[in-house]
Structure 1
Amino acid sequence: MQALSRTLYWVRKAAYITILSLSVCNLYGQQRYELKIASANDNYCLNLHDGYYTNGLFICVNYLPHLRVATDSVHKLVKVIASYQAGQMMFTPESIRNLSADQIDRPFAGYLFIQKGMTFLYRRGHVLTTNVSLGMIGPASLAQQTQVLIHRAFDLNIPKLWSYQVKNEVGLNLQLQYWHELVPLSQSRRWFDLHGTAQMTLGNTFINGSAGVLFQWGRFEKPAQSSLYEARLERHASTRNKVVEFYGFFHPTYQYQVYNATVEGRILGSNAGSILSSVEPWVYRHDVGIVYSQNRWTAQLMYSLKSREAVSMRHAEQYITILTAYCL
């Protein structure tokens, strides 16, 4: 608990310094940053369920990097956005109430990470994102301490079997994501959009690939200015009136996973003492969400349904993500 308290203290201190620094930049007209906070939890579904992917918290700063990238009408690239992100993900069995070791149908696991990302937005509506993350699974992820702290604060059941969680391992992962516009978006038609999507992750924590289709409907900007791709940042924001965005999206995907350390344990070293599982190779997931953006603010509510990612899991998992972002 002391380690968690120290960690939370430094996270709060870093967030305060970041907000103060970005606010100073805002006073001098440098509106090139976005602070984003997202929280994911299965309890947001109001189904009194607490298991599988049970909690996620992410803090991200997006910004326009100082790159000499040609983005005029002759070139294909419109905008480049860089980001830094820190996050924690928590996984538990289907239920933590009166749990015994033989009832653990999904390994206890946590994933704590930092990430550097670059997003490239192209004139024809295509988007490419690259991410490199450094993280930790196992007790060093502080997932157990976080869950105990939250459950004590809200007078919930305290899980007893975190001693069976996956072992510590440092993970380095590379992720590529690509959105390919299938229906050209014109100035006169901004109510519907369709993208083919692809994603690949390679590292010693996750190895997988997925493909899907992204449907978007409502009032929204082109991808290079849309909040869906975190692209509302402008180098000269004061000279451009941002369109109010209010839209929904539906994103079904199929994923093939080769390795998942939160399910199978670490690659290197012994996993003795952990209760683990094999992965389900094929995983279906869909995300349904609604987004509202006006001026500097963006708010998003997204529901996710995901089929079993571990052979031992009894059911599919579902959770809701709440996101808010503010441009500075």
Structure 2
Amino acid sequence: MFNKLFLTLLCLFGSISLFAQTRGHEIAIQTDNDGYLGQGSDRYYTNGIFIYYRKALKADGDLQNKVLGFEIGQKMYNAQSGYVPNASYIDRPFAAYSYIGSTLNLLYKNESTLKLSAQLGIVGPAAGGEPIQKFIHNTFGFYALNGWQYQIKNNVELNLGAEYNKLLARASWIDVSLASYANLGNGFTGAGVGPLIRLGNFNQLFNSVSTQSTVSAADQTGLLHTHEIFFYYKPQINGVLYDATIQGPLFNKNHDPNSLEVTLDKKPFIFSNQVGVAFTTSRFTFDIAAIFHTKDVEEMLRSHQWASITGAYRFK
């Protein structure tokens, strides 16, 4: 009887372990804000909120993992402050971008990854930037706003994107990957490339926080670590061909002399640095990062920076 009980418990614990490794669904929330860095700033890319749902799909052939994702989000931008006395103080246009989107993440056994994305969104008053920022400021007793009357006007956008990552080299506690992306749309068009350096206990790119692929439809055997915890650094050069939050609508330019809309010209190249820490448990994932960007437009008085906090929960 003891042997039967032992075998039963062994099978139970084995099934629990397998359950933990094959959780194929994930919900996540990401919040970005420059205030998280504790500098007292409220400028440029000032707030972002995103909700994700990811589902692992069956992978075969050269694929080790495949993840389908859906998301909804909003990005909010203002000038050097959320309060400007008049339009001459606008060194980066007021704008909000709200969207719904989907992604397909293809993760190969050779640790190259390709993530395809599509977003349908809107820039302008219909994106809800002004009422949300007013709600935040009123709720927490921040200063009064002035400047959204100059925001980018309404423009519906379709934006497509692709991200490609490839492992370049790895030692026991450090690895280096190529990280790149390209966007094409009437809202955002551009590309970027740079290395991703990870230090600590990380997993392969086909099942890692780094590539938003911690869910899987099958048991991911042979992973480097049961749980991830690592620091990372991601410098990147970004080429910008078009940005509707700066330049306004691509096809529906404003010729109304009575309009208060303020647009500016984007800079062709932006340099960014991202440093962060990521870790996972059997069900939860966390990613905390600080991002530093050079100026988006020549008129900006300063470069800008913000922090990003992401939490995710995986389930069967």
- Normalising by structure 2, what TM-score? 0.88
Equivalent position amino acid for 2:106 in 1: F
* Alignment of structure 1 residues 50-69 onto 2, 5 Å: 50-65=42-57, 69=59
For 2:113, the equivalent position in structure 1 comes to 127
Equivalent position amino acid for 2:310 in 1: L
Q: Give secondary structure in 1 for the equivalent of 2:246.
A: helix
Equivalent position amino acid for 2:120 in 1: L
Question: Do the aligned partners of 1:278 and 1:312 also contact (CA within 8 Å) in 2?
Answer: no
Q: In structure 2, what is the Cα distance between the partners aligned to 1:139 and 1:40?
A: 20
The Cα of 1:234 is off from its aligned counterpart by 2.4
For 1:23, the equivalent position in structure 2 comes to none
Identity %: 27
Pick aligned residue for 1:31 from 18, 23, 27: 23
For 2:302, the equivalent position in structure 1 comes to 315
* Alignment of structure 1 residues 181-220 onto 2, 5 Å: 181-183=167-169, 185=170, 189-220=171-202
Q: Give secondary structure in 2 for the equivalent of 1:140.
A: helix
Is 1:41–2:27 an aligned residue pair?
A: no
For 2:16, the equivalent position in structure 1 comes to none
Structure 1 residue ranges, 4+ long, deviating more than 4 angstroms after superposition:
236-242
CA RMSD of aligned residues (A): 2.0
Q: Give secondary structure in 2 for the equivalent of 1:153.
A: helix
What's the CA shift string for 1:185-241, capped at 9, x where partnerless? 5xxx54111111221100000111111111011001111121221222122469999
- Normalising by structure 1, what TM-score? 0.84
For 2:263, the equivalent position in structure 1 comes to 276
For 1:11, the equivalent position in structure 2 comes to none
Q: Give secondary structure in 2 for the equivalent of 1:182.
A: strand
Change (3 A) 1:176 1:238: closer
Q: In structure 2, what is the Cα distance between the partners aligned to 1:206 and 1:38?
A: 21
How many correspondences in the alignment? Answer: 291
Gaps of 5+ in 1: 1-26
Q: Give secondary structure in 1 for the equivalent of 2:135.
A: helix
For 1:12, the equivalent position in structure 2 comes to none
Larger Rg: 2
Q: Give secondary structure in 1 for the equivalent of 2:252.
A: coil
What's the CA shift string for 1:270-317, capped at 9, x where partnerless? 424211110000100011000111111111110000011122211110
* Alignment of structure 1 residues 129-144 onto 2, 5 Å: 129-144=115-130
Question: Do the aligned partners of 1:132 and 1:172 also contact (CA within 8 Å) in 2?
Answer: yes
Equivalent position amino acid for 1:141 in 2: A
Pick aligned residue for 1:225 from 192, 200, 207: 207
For 1:234, the equivalent position in structure 2 comes to 216
Question: Do the aligned partners of 1:51 and 1:92 also contact (CA within 8 Å) in 2?
Answer: yes
Question: Do the aligned partners of 2:73 and 2:99 also contact (CA within 8 Å) in 1?
Answer: yes
